[in-house]
Amino acid sequence: MSAIAYITDSKLLELHRLNAHKTMNFWRLSTKNSFSDFGKDDLVFFLSKDKELMKKKEKGIVGFGKLDSIYSYAPKTMWNKFGKENGYNSYKEFIEAIEKVSKGHELPKKISSFYLKNVVFFQAPIYLSELNINISNKVESYVYIKPEESVIKLLEYGKDAVDMWSGDDELVNLIDDEQLAYSIKLAHKEIGDFNLDERKLKSANRTMKKLIEKNPGSMFIGKSKLDVSYINKKDVLIVLYHDKDLDYRLLVGQAQLYKKYIRTYYHGAYKIYFKTCDNNKKIIELINNV
């Protein structure tokens, strides 16, 4: 579970913003996945390097997107696959942008990209120092936003800064959904998975993977190998692992902790429900009434 602020070309962002794109292919020169803790559904915040948008040399956040996939292609293949989602109106402009920032101003054989969904832009830059979030002004490519609670704060602030040119009130709801999802991940970080032996954990993980395959839209919570969530608007379903050898009282405690920590990080309206992977009706009724 991570969020990074990545320095971004203002021309690229402007095309996406003016066309109200909700998805974009965020390309970068490096083909190495050098991120120690970053993957699907994590957030990329756009850190503008436009000097006109800087405040006392501080770069501002001008939007964000959620990571869907990571790609590595030759520039021509990247253009053929994503076209204007790369942020330029023509292949010529795309190549010129790559050459401008590449070593020796030569076209590399391959570049990589983050394919982002749920893209949102802000009316004006958000300066992290105003939220008591400190990052260096000397960042050359990207920086992790730490601690994780700062991401919740940034998203909350962003709801009042949405660029309505690139969308409507739906974008505020989208940010709200990201806040809730991130809060669930933070809750699991506090709680952790059940302490199962290695053999049992592998078996349990297979069970939960099969459950995810049968229920589109569901996913593991953060780095969990056992807990699965599904969010439908403001209804949250959390599916907990259970079998005959696992004391049901552990699930009761786990449900209580999820409620406690989600409330700590997210203050909007939502409903939370719990199920077990084995659909044990007695335990489901019990953990939903704690």
50 in the same domain as 15: yes
Looking at residue 33, its pLDDT comes to 57
Which among 86, 83, 67, 78 has a CA at the least distance from the CA of 25? 86
- Residue spans of beta strands (DSSP E) within the chain: 3-8, 24-28, 43-48, 61-73, 111-126, 142-144, 219-220, 228-232, 235-240, 271-276
Give a yes or no: residue 42 inside a domain. Answer: yes
List pLDDT tens digits, range 218-272.
Answer: 999 988 999 999 998 789 999 999 998 889 899 999 999 999 999 999 988 889 9
Instruction: From 103, 135, 167, give the residue that closes a domain.
Output: 167
Looking at residue 276, its pLDDT comes to 96
Domain of residue 14 covers 3-167
Give a yes or no: residue 177 inside a domain. Answer: no
37 in the same domain as 150: yes
111 in the same domain as 229: no
How many Å is the maximal CA-CA distance in the chain? 67
Give a yes or no: residue 159 inside a domain. Answer: yes
Burial 165-185 (b: 16+ CB within 10 A, else e): ebbeeebbebbbbbbbbbbbb
Number of domains in the chain: 2
Looking at residue 210, its pLDDT comes to 96
Residues with Cβ within 8 Å of residue 254, at least 6 apart in sequence: 191, 194, 240, 287
CATH number of the domain residue 89 falls in: 2.30.130.30
Give a yes or no: residue 280 inside a domain. Answer: yes
154 in the same domain as 12: yes
Give a yes or no: residue 176 inside a domain. Answer: no
pLDDT beneath 70, residues of the chain:
1, 31-36, 50-55, 164-169
Instruction: From 167, 200, 217, give the residue that closes a domain.
Output: 167
